[in-house]
Amino acid sequence: MIAPVEWCTDTGTEFIPRWVRVNTLKYTTAQFLQKLASLSLTQVPDLPTLQTTPQGYLLDLHIPDLLAFHRSYPLTTTSFAAEYTSGQIILQDKASCIPACLLAVQPGDMVLDACAAPGNKTTQLAAAVGPGGRVIAVERDRERVVTLRNMVEKAGAAECTPPKKPPPRIS
C-alpha cells in the first residue's frame, strides 16, 4: 500500500517538488545517482528537507526509480539536458507513476494500457515488463497517438509501439 505523500508547508503554501523517473530501459538508477554525486547534489531524507535544499534530491520511498528535486533546480536545461532529451530520465509526476506501480507487473508480463497517451505510464510499464514482456498501448485520439508514438520511441520502448494506424473507432 502506498502511504500519503508528505506535503510540507511554508507560510501556507504547499511545497511541490519536480519528479523524475529514471527510464530503466535506457539507464539505471545507480548511473543516475553517480551523476548526481558528480554534480555535488545532496540526498535528503524527506520532502521538508528538500524544500530547504535547492541542490538536493529525494529517492521516493514508494515508487522505484523515482526521485524528487527542488522546483528551482534546472532539470532539463542544464545538468540533465542530455539524459532528458535522450529519454534516460522522464519528468513524470508521482501521481502518474502510482497506477503502473500498483499493477505490480513482472518481467515477461503482457499489459494493456487502454488510454496510453502521452506515454509516461506506458513507458513505465514497458520498463517493468522488460524485453521479454509486452505493453499493448491503445489511444483513441489520433493526435495523441502521435504524442504516444514519439514518447515510446524516445524512451526506447519498442515493445509498446502502438499500431501504425489507429483503429477506425474505439468506443
Tell me the pLDDT tens digit for each residue of 83-132.
999 999 999 999 999 999 999 999 989 999 988 999 999 999 999 998 88
- Cα–Cα distance for residue pair 62/101, rounded to 1 Å: 9
Buried b (16+ CB within 10 A) or exposed e, 93-127: ebebbbebbebebeeebebebeebbbbbbbbbbbb
Unique residue bearing C-alpha cell 501504425: 164
- What digits encode the pLDDT tens for the residues 31-74? 999 999 999 999 999 999 999 999 999 999 999 999 999 999 99
Torsion of CA 165, 122, 157, 161, to 10 degrees: -10
The C-alpha angle 40, 46, 47, rounded to 5 degrees, equals 95
- What digits encode the pLDDT tens for the residues 145-168? 999 999 999 999 976 655 555 555
Tell me the pTM: 0.84
Q: Report yes or no: 117 and 144 within 8 Å, Cβ to Cβ.
A: yes
- Cα–Cα distance for residue pair 131/157, rounded to 1 Å: 9
One-letter amino acid at 52 equals T
9 Cα distance to chain centroid: 25
